[in-house]
Structure 1
Amino acid sequence: MSAAPATSDNPLLQPWTAPFGAPPFAEIRPEHFAQAFEAGLAESTAGMLAVAADADEPSFQNTIEALEANGPILQRVSSVFFNLAGADTNDAIEAVERDIAPVLSRHSSEMFLNGDLFRRIATLYGQRDTLALTPEQRRVLDRYHTMFVRNGAALPEAQKARLAAISERLATLSTSFGQNVLADERAWTMTLGADDLDGLSEAQVAAAAKAAEDRGVAGYVITLARSSIEPFLQSSTRRDLRETAFRAWTARGENPGATDNRLVVAEMVALRAEYARLLGYESWAHFKLEDVMAKTPEAVRGLLHQVWTPAKARAATEQRDLQKLAAGRGDNIEIEAWDWRFYTEALRKERYDLDDAEVKPYLQLEQIIAAAFDTATRLFGVTFDERPDMPVYHPDVRAWEVRDAEGGHVGLFLGDYFARPSKHSGAWMSAFRSQERLTGDIRPIIVNVMNFSKPPEGQPALIGMDDARTLFHEFGHGLHGLLSDVTYPLISGTGVARDFVELPSQLYEHWLEQPEVLSRFAVHHETGDAMPTEMLDRLLSARRFNQGFATVEYTSSALVDLDFHLLTDTGELDAARFERDTLERIGMPRAISMRHRTPHFGHIFSGGYSAGYYSYLWSEVLDADAFDAFREAGDIFDPATARRLKDFIYSAGGRQDPHEAYRAFRGRDASPEALLKKRGLDVAELASGEV
């Protein structure tokens, strides 16, 4: 690593003078981070120790508020660094990431395991009924006490030390896991010649040509980015190439050598199980689920089982239909996992007279962004003005200022839409700065990151319906951060229970599929003509098509996640065999693969979803029921319903228990029947056996 620059030359440690206090990306280099982290850690540690050593009796202000305001440098540096590590990384940043992950874990443990600090928080918690706290303050105090206890603050010293060591090792392993997956994704490409393009649309061929150009190779390139490989699996008539691509895609993180994640998984599962035992829990799943809406593994398994049985039944019907279609085309094959998307696309065209190549010209990325913005304007009164003058971290990134109905500044929104080798796969929302009022009127800087295929220069980016849903999904998360209206950083924006955080994002997807939205923004990129009504009708009527497959690939992943984290005695865990055994036990259809196989399951091994991948389904119960509120009002933009949605969901952050927040919006709890109806699964197919 290069020598650290002098503090006076480090832009991370100087005032940021760009509009809205945005980071000075053009000035930041990887070598700035080591020194900036060092300064931030020193400031944060000093502040934390000062609170712990305060001679005054603990108060909410000198303890909780002091901790909430502590460490602004570390917060600022961390937000910039980890956003770049995900969206625009390189060897130097990855080296810093490997170095800093255990250091940050150690710093976190030093706070949570500080006995003097916990005594102050425990004293306040014991006095909470007599402190005249606001509801928001009471919630923040409760969360602090819960966080400290769940991080081992009440344990004996020897157990504290072991817990800290486990946390530090897990941070290192989590970083390695994500970097290994990215390395495999970077390393693999499939170069095609002109004779290998049968079945691909013009847009797909253009995207493959652009991928080849970006990599300096001749011909056409398919990558492991989902927006590259899934369309290829849907369209290519070359079964041999589909198999090659599919096997590479599902083998990420499982290739022998330096990037093999199987031993990483085994160690992480064992360490998590030990961590839970130290805190008195039966398993990591019991530990993680106690502090979210679900509360217990039994509740999670019950929800997953509600959809697993009808989903498998639907998938079996779908597979028979695909097999019949293949036979009718003279293809003497048994449907395999690399065939499913290809024949599904053919069957969709046959049943609904639709194919992706016909729909994509009407789904311009630019127009779908506009649709997401317009929906937010109609629901919440916010507007979006593009700001090309803003500093951004990559030329592909765009920035918009967000304003409220009165023209006041709400925040800054960044959109980073195209795949590139420096970006991790997937799609996500993050914050360069979160909203809060404790230290001033702090407005958020929110980013959406996606991995759509970039078109050749001068051509519009055309995306499929699944990609359009992804954009709306992540923008729903973005609005959760942008519309946040709380005082305390801890509960800002997406600072909510893991199985509640997907509600604002999944709910927002519903508006994309409304004719009132699509009829305005689904316009042909060449003619400007709106999508024909009959095509729109066919597109919407196909919404429940292939839902057996989609539900099986998701739910199987959630069940494998749950089973890994219910282990109490991991022994010599063979992660690949454990995955296979679990799938066999639940009766996984052979022709369907998990949506995220274990060696590249970043949600649970390098993200925050361990024992929590079910949460998308849990939130889907809420989102299906929540959108029904607008249907019942007779207007998908009903002002009164939208006002409640903003007040109790999008702007409320974590200031309420999530059950209470949902009831405040809806007037009652949600029913799972709305989910089954949304996915088109037959409630009568539910069974009573366990999975």
Structure 2
Amino acid sequence: MAPLELPETQQDWVRFLSARCDDQLTVARERVELIASQPDARVEVTLARWNAVTLALLNATSAAMFFSQAHPDEALRTKAERAEQEAASLSDEVRQDRRLYAVFAAIDTDALDPQAARMLALTMREFRRAGVELDEQARQRLHQLVERCTTLARQFQSNIIDDIRSISLTPEQLDGLPDDYIAAHPPGADGRVVVTTSFPDAIPFLRFARDTAARREVATQFNCQGWPANDPVLHELLGLRRERARLLGYDSWADYDAEIKMVGSGAAIRDFIDRVSSVAVPVAHREIEALERRMRHDQPHGVDAAARDKLHASDLGYYTEVIRRERYDVDAQEVRRYLDCSKVVTGLLDVTGRLFGLEFVEVPTAPTWHPDVDTYDVLDAGVLIGRFHLDLHPRPGKYALGQHFAITRGVDNVQLPQSALFIDVPRGLLEHEDVVALFHEFGHLLNSVLGGHVTWARDSGVATERDFVEAPSQMLEEWAHDHGVLRSFATDGDGYPIPAELIARMRAADSFGRGLFVADLAAFGAVSLALHEEVPDDLTACANAAFARHMPVPQLPDTHAYAAWEHLADERYGSGCYAYSWSHIIAKDLLSGFDPVDLMAPEPARRYRDQVLTPGGSRDGADLIEAFLGRASSTAAFDRWLTGPSGQQ
């Protein structure tokens, strides 16, 4: 099989999008009618037709979702948005089709192999959750709700993309930033410099700018993106989700959503967040005390002296860097000297290729949606098993946050998996956090490619429970901290590798801030849960109250971070943003199956590839963990990481 070839010209892109969306939806409709009109067909024929329906819907949805956020042409992005809406609408219609439901309910599952029986059971659950058992009026209302929710989610995301803000500063307010950052922000005709709320601009500024008032101004604007436009959008979306859940017999959207995740219920989400918070907050308080002590050594820059001892959210990144620099002798700007973007990308591919026994071959002639995009074929023992694209640098209209997109979901003997990695990192020197983010997103991409050779389309790629999905990526982040891995590609301009003692200090410095990091994750999980359970009139008050229950440092006044939090509108997360904390615990547990002295050891890596990545979504997350570790999942590794000697510093 060959990978799906992308178009070369603008006109070809229009035809391509139509073929991948309109034509695939036509295929889905045709197969649905075959199943419904031939209920007595052989079981294997019926299930094969259903697999074709599922794949066609995935093909249409994946292409529409991806190109609505990737393609540089605004008109084509708009067309892709409409196609995404049409695909979502048809998918909902199909799962409300009582004719199909009756055909599937009549199948004797005892006669199926275990994988087919599992697929059918999950399919029947999807039909019930789509409202197939409701009366006609209720089904119609539910379908309207689903369509409107899809529209609102798209609007929520568009409002964020369209709201990149600019802050005008004096050149002196860039004091503390790296030289290349300052060079990239020259004064304008008015003698002032402009810093935006894009990630490559805002995040370094908040970490290194010495000017307290400037940091607060940038942080305030950064945490107001999408607001106020997204307040009415989110409020309506939350209300419609609650109505959907209650139509289907659930107490809340959280209960409806959690049913298909490892956690199981909304109450269990709350208990989990409280448990994580109870462990993280004491560590976070010790870190805050250290930050405040260090802050008192500095004279305030542009803030009232009465507030000098009060730590604000805009101070966290800056003073964490100060402490890491002074206590552990780790200067993030010194580390940057060794992290040239092109070398990091080459190293990422080399390390993961060797680790999992794969070869990544660049395809410079492959058409893409933008000249910045690089394309690679994935070979396993010389056999082509997939393709991926790297879209790494910022541009107008592009999805800004790091994310993996599946362009095509792979199915054995039908089509090869093809994915894209999206992130916004500088073209020159990177922060170490950028390197970690690249490893994280590449973990999703590997899961999609290696898990894209299954029988059933619904199981292809990143298709486990949503609260397991992040675990493989979070675990792969550890390789970006490893001594041997970093020295294999992190070299300065003269080719000298990053010193081993610097890596050791980096690892020690990384222990500071763990409590705040975990408390922050718990707080955002609590926000997503509270908003969905309460559906409040005042979204800001609800979000701030939920955040304050778990994060010792309050939000900045007059900010609305939830308005730029795309996961709230993404139905895969929604009320379930606790999933990052849940997956983090699993990731630490999975890491215990590797040799801590030699993370590149081939035997555990091969077992991990075979037992966790290759199955895609064909097994439950708990089963994947047990298959790799030989036991059920445990929180012990996470607890040691968070509260052990380094976590207590």
TM-score, normalised via structure 2 length: 0.92
Alignment check: 8 A CA contact 1:544 1:680 kept:
no
Residue 562 (structure 2) pairs with residue 601 (structure 1)? no
Cα distance in 2, alignment partners of residues 435 and 377 from structure 1: 20
Which residue does 1:175 correspond to in 2?
Answer: 154
Which residue does 1:162 correspond to in 2?
Answer: 141
Q: 1:68 to 1:545 in 2, by over 3 A?
A: same
Q: How does 1:399-548 map to 2 (within 5 A)?
A: 399-404=375-380, 406-437=381-412, 440-454=413-427, 461-484=428-451, 485-524=453-492, 526-548=493-515
Q: What CA deviation, in whole Å up to 9, does each residue of 1:426-458 have, x standing for no partner?
A: 111112212112xx352211111001134xxxx
Q: Which amino acid aligns with 1:578?
A: C
Cα distance in 1, alignment partners of residues 554 and 170 from structure 2: 32
Cα distance in 2, alignment partners of residues 348 and 585 from structure 1: 27
Q: How does 1:139-218 map to 2 (within 5 A)?
A: 139-185=118-164, 188-192=165-169, 194-208=171-185
Q: What CA deviation, in whole Å up to 9, does each residue of 1:616-641 have, x standing for no partner?
A: 11111111111111137x64233332
Q: What CA deviation, in whole Å up to 9, does each residue of 1:504-545 have, x standing for no partner?
A: 111111122111111222211x11101112211111111211
Q: Which amino acid aligns with 2:117?
A: R
Q: What CA deviation, in whole Å up to 9, does each residue of 1:155-199 have, x standing for no partner?
A: 2222111111110110110011000111112xx123455444211
Q: How does 1:659-670 map to 2 (within 5 A)?
A: 659-670=622-633
Q: What CA deviation, in whole Å up to 9, does each residue of 1:296-355 have, x standing for no partner?
A: 223322332222123222222222222222221233412222222222211211111122
1:119 to 102, 113, 122: 102
Q: 1:515 to 1:320 in 2, by over 3 A?
A: same
Q: What CA deviation, in whole Å up to 9, does each residue of 1:75-107 have, x standing for no partner?
A: 545433321222235542453355444433321
Which residue does 1:380 correspond to in 2?
Answer: 356
Cα distance in 1, alignment partners of residues 369 and 74 from structure 2: 16
1:302 to 267, 271, 278: 271
Cα distance in 1, alignment partners of residues 508 and 424 from structure 2: 27
Cα distance in 1, alignment partners of residues 627 and 161 from structure 2: 42
Which residue does 1:640 correspond to in 2?
Answer: 603
What's the % identity of the aligned pairs?
28
Cα distance in 1, alignment partners of residues 8 and 572 from structure 2: 27
In the TM superposition, what is the alpha-carbon distance from 1:585 to its structure 2 partner? 4.6
Residue 205 (structure 2) pairs with residue 242 (structure 1)? no
Number of aligned pairs?
A: 639
Alignment check: 8 A CA contact 2:313 2:553 kept:
no
Which residue does 1:24 correspond to in 2?
Answer: 7
Cα distance in 2, alignment partners of residues 543 and 239 from structure 1: 24
Which residue does 1:286 correspond to in 2?
Answer: 255
Alignment check: 8 A CA contact 1:243 1:338 kept:
yes
Alignment check: 8 A CA contact 2:25 2:60 kept:
no
Which residue does 1:363 correspond to in 2?
Answer: 339
Alignment check: 8 A CA contact 1:273 1:284 kept:
yes
Residue 422 of structure 1 aligns to a residue whose secondary structure is: coil
Which residue does 1:610 correspond to in 2?
Answer: 574
Q: 1:74 to 1:174 in 2, by over 3 A?
A: same
Residue 531 (structure 2) pairs with residue 564 (structure 1)? yes
Alignment check: 8 A CA contact 2:448 2:461 kept:
yes
Residue 21 of structure 1 aligns to a residue whose secondary structure is: coil
Q: 1:70 to 1:562 in 2, by over 3 A?
A: same
Which residue does 2:543 correspond to in 1?
Answer: 579
Residue 511 of structure 1 aligns to a residue whose secondary structure is: helix
Runs (5+) with no aligned partner, structure 2: none
Q: 1:389 to 1:95 in 2, by over 3 A?
A: closer
Q: Which amino acid aligns with 1:434?
A: R
Cα distance in 2, alignment partners of residues 154 and 112 from structure 1: 10
In the TM superposition, what is the alpha-carbon distance from 1:678 to its structure 2 partner? 2.4
Residue 327 (structure 2) pairs with residue 351 (structure 1)? yes
Cα distance in 1, alignment partners of residues 442 and 612 from structure 2: 15
Q: Which amino acid aligns with 2:404?
A: M
Alignment check: 8 A CA contact 1:416 1:448 kept:
yes
Mean alpha-carbon deviation: is it higher for 352-361 or for 85-94?
85-94
Alignment check: 8 A CA contact 1:554 1:594 kept:
no
Which residue does 2:33 correspond to in 1?
Answer: 49
TM-score, normalised via structure 1 length: 0.87
Alignment check: 8 A CA contact 1:101 1:175 kept:
no
In the TM superposition, what is the alpha-carbon distance from 1:594 to its structure 2 partner? 13
Residue 140 of structure 1 aligns to a residue whose secondary structure is: helix
Residue 629 of structure 1 aligns to a residue whose secondary structure is: coil
In the TM superposition, what is the alpha-carbon distance from 1:73 to its structure 2 partner? 6.5
Q: 1:680 to 1:355 in 2, by over 3 A?
A: farther
Cα distance in 2, alignment partners of residues 278 and 682 from structure 1: 50
Alignment check: 8 A CA contact 2:162 2:397 kept:
no
In the TM superposition, what is the alpha-carbon distance from 1:382 to its structure 2 partner? 0.1
Which residue does 2:230 correspond to in 1?
Answer: 261
Which residue does 1:396 correspond to in 2?
Answer: 372
In the TM superposition, what is the alpha-carbon distance from 1:591 to its structure 2 partner? 5.9
Residue 38 (structure 2) pairs with residue 65 (structure 1)? no
Cα distance in 2, alignment partners of residues 669 and 72 from structure 1: 32
Alignment check: 8 A CA contact 1:557 1:597 kept:
no
Residue 431 of structure 1 aligns to a residue whose secondary structure is: strand
Q: How does 1:26-105 map to 2 (within 5 A)?
A: 26-28=9-11, 32=15, 36=19, 37-54=21-38, 56-70=39-53, 75-97=58-80, 99-105=82-88
Cα distance in 2, alignment partners of residues 362 and 382 from structure 1: 26
Residue 362 of structure 1 aligns to a residue whose secondary structure is: coil
Q: What CA deviation, in whole Å up to 9, does each residue of 1:380-432 have, x standing for no partner?
A: 2101122211111111111112111x211121121111112221221111122
Alignment check: 8 A CA contact 1:177 1:606 kept:
no
Question: How large is the Cα RMSD of the aligned pairs?
Answer: 2.8
Residue 402 of structure 1 aligns to a residue whose secondary structure is: strand
Cα distance in 1, alignment partners of residues 190 and 105 from structure 2: 62
Mean alpha-carbon deviation: is it higher for 273-282 or for 165-174?
273-282
Runs (5+) with no aligned partner, structure 1: 1-16, 455-460, 686-691
